[in-house]
Amino acid sequence: MIELVIDPAGKTGLFNGRVGNETVVRSRQPFLDGARVLLARGYDPATPYNMRHANSATLSFVSTTLGRAAGLGVVDAATGTRFRKFVPSGDIDEPIGQAAE
């Protein structure tokens, strides 16, 4: 399983996401954007994937796969934040460095 560990990036709502000791994404939705970065680097879409906060041992989600997480986006609606199919918009935060394997 790949575990993305996140911590605040200084700006409200922005997080650094790392795999091992390497930061791979800086994003407001690090779980989803991190999955897309890892897939772009050649990781298998079927690889189990989850996330946790740096100060916690508790996983943040029900484990999924890189491919499934990469296919999701987030939309804020009057009824609350919801997942949706990912649609590239050109304004996602940029990936950082090379992922640890």
Full-prediction pTM beyond 0.85?
no
Residue 89 — pLDDT band, cuts 50, 70, 90?
A: low
| 94 in a structural domain | no
| 71 in a structural domain | yes
| 34 in a structural domain | yes
| 53 in a structural domain | yes
| 31 in a structural domain | yes
The whole domain housing 76 covers: 2-85
Give me the number of domains the chain comprises: 1
Alpha carbons 43 and 69: distance in angstroms, whole number: 13
Distances (CA, A) of 10 to 28, 39, 69: 12, 26, 25
Other CB atoms within 10 Å distance of the CB of residue 3:
14
Alpha carbons 86 and 98: distance in angstroms, whole number: 23
| 91 in a structural domain | no
Of the spans 59-68, 72-81, 87-96, which averages the highest pLDDT?
A: 59-68
In the predicted model, is pLDDT for residue 2 greater than 70?
Answer: yes
| 96 in a structural domain | no
